[in-house]
Amino acid sequence: MSTLLLNLDFGEPPPKKAFEGNAKHRKFVRKRRLLERRGFLNKKNQPPSKASKLHSEPPKKGETSSIDGTWKVSPLPKKKTVASSSGPEQALDKKAAVPWLTPAPAQKPGSAVAKVDLLGEFQSALPKMRSHPTRPHKKGPQKNPTQKNAPQSSTQSHSDNKCSGASQKMPRKMVAIDCEMVGTGPKGHVSSLARCSIVNYHGDVLYDEYILPPCHIVDYRTRWSGIRKQHMVNATPFKTARSQILKILAGKIVVGHAIHNDFKALQYFHPKSLTRDTSHIPPLNRKADCPENATMSLKTLTKKLLNRDIQVGRSGHSSVEDAQATMELYKLVEAEWEQHLAQSPPED
């Protein structure tokens, strides 16, 4: 049996090096040493990309882990690499391994070092994420705006078609006009406007005014016009009335009987494409069993087609009554005549 010799020194331990400086400096040194032991100062001084690269790979032979979680490689003797058939495969495996996707070395949950390591891995992963082209989330839905707008445009066109079909069924902006004239000029042979009435599609009165001609009235033509001297006392001047009437007629389809006489009295020309003269509509004459090319009076057409008597007596005509009768006559052949005008529109 060999004897064991123990050389034990039970003397006092060597005295620790005393701190130098004042109390504040000693406190600072203690804190610094504490941080160095825990690895915070080493982690701060090390770049994040290097730290993440060291953490991203598992420990290999000859590697030892330090306190701050990084892996230190012990120096190994260099060996010459020999080319082999498995060389390209190993290179592909190394390229395929994404360092920021591989798990970091195990750390104690909740430790400060683990939190710092996760931050370093995240920062090191950012440059690699930028290498892949990505688009912001807000601009994603706007990649192909035509694809999403296509159903909307189709629905809009469908609704427009519905609206256009409904507008064709509904009456358009249409008015009927009738004017009463008095005689001015030499022997009263010049017809001047003395009253004008305008009604809408449903026969409601839009305008009805007595109008004072610019010239002296020679013949009131009361038997036909219904105008008397007292009607001119508070009558509207011709220029004012004309501007009011033209505002109503602008852009509308104007219906009248022998309407060229009314426009002449107004000193106005309305587009032919927007003019409907019931004295020159062949389908209306056919309904009344009259020659198609004949010019029938408003009184005759109203009696035959509407079974109504107008312009009766010696008190004169009513321009409101005549305008309403004209609109009702046109409604009888509106669909047929508008279709005919659409196929062969009149030239202005």
178: β partners:
197
pLDDT computed for residue 315 by the predictor? 79
- Separation CA 128–CA 12 (nearest Å): 58
43: β partners:
none
Q: Convert the pLDDT of each residue in 26-40 to its tens digit.
A: 888 888 888 888 877
Q: Convert the pLDDT of each residue in 84-100 to its tens digit.
A: 444 444 444 444 444 44
Q: With H, G, I as helix, E, B as strand and everything else as coil, classify residue 261.
A: helix
Q: What is the CA radius of gyration of the chain?
A: 52
Q: How many CB atoms lie within 10 A of CB 69?
A: 23
Domain ranges of the chain: 172-341
Q: Which helix (H) or strand (E) holds 53?
A: helix 48-56
212: β partners:
237
Query: Would you put residue 251 in left (φ > 0), alpha (ψ -120 to 50) or beta?
Result: left
pLDDT at residue 51 greater than cutoff 50: no
Greater pLDDT, 347 or 339: 339
pLDDT band, very low/low/confident/very high, at 154 (cuts 50, 70, 90): very low
pLDDT at residue 238 greater than cutoff 50: yes
Fold of the domain built from segment(s) 172-341: Nucleotidyltransferase; domain 5 (3.30.420)
pLDDT band, very low/low/confident/very high, at 9 (cuts 50, 70, 90): low
pLDDT computed for residue 29 by the predictor? 87
Q: Convert the pLDDT of each residue in 294-312 to its tens digit.
A: 999 999 999 999 999 999 8
Q: With H, G, I as helix, E, B as strand and everything else as coil, classify residue 37.
A: helix
pLDDT computed for residue 119 by the predictor? 54
User: What is the full DSSP assignment across 90-149?
Assistant: HHHHHHH--TTTSPPPP--TT-HHHHHHHHHHHHHHHHHHHHS----TTTGGGS-HHHHH
Q: Are strands 205-212 and 174-184 parallel, antiparallel or unpaired?
A: unpaired
Mean pLDDT within 102-124: 50
pLDDT at residue 75 greater than cutoff 80: no
Q: Convert the pLDDT of each residue in 160-219 to its tens digit.
A: 444 444 334 444 699 999 999 999 999 999 999 999 999 999 999 999 999 999 999 999
pLDDT computed for residue 33 by the predictor? 86
Do 204 and 176 form a contact (C-beta atoms < 8 A)? no
pLDDT computed for residue 271 by the predictor? 95
Q: Record the tokens describing residue 48, joined without a space.
A: 């994040």
- C-alpha separations of 109 from 64, 118, 158, 252 in Å: 21, 12, 63, 84
Do 95 and 19 form a contact (C-beta atoms < 8 A)? no
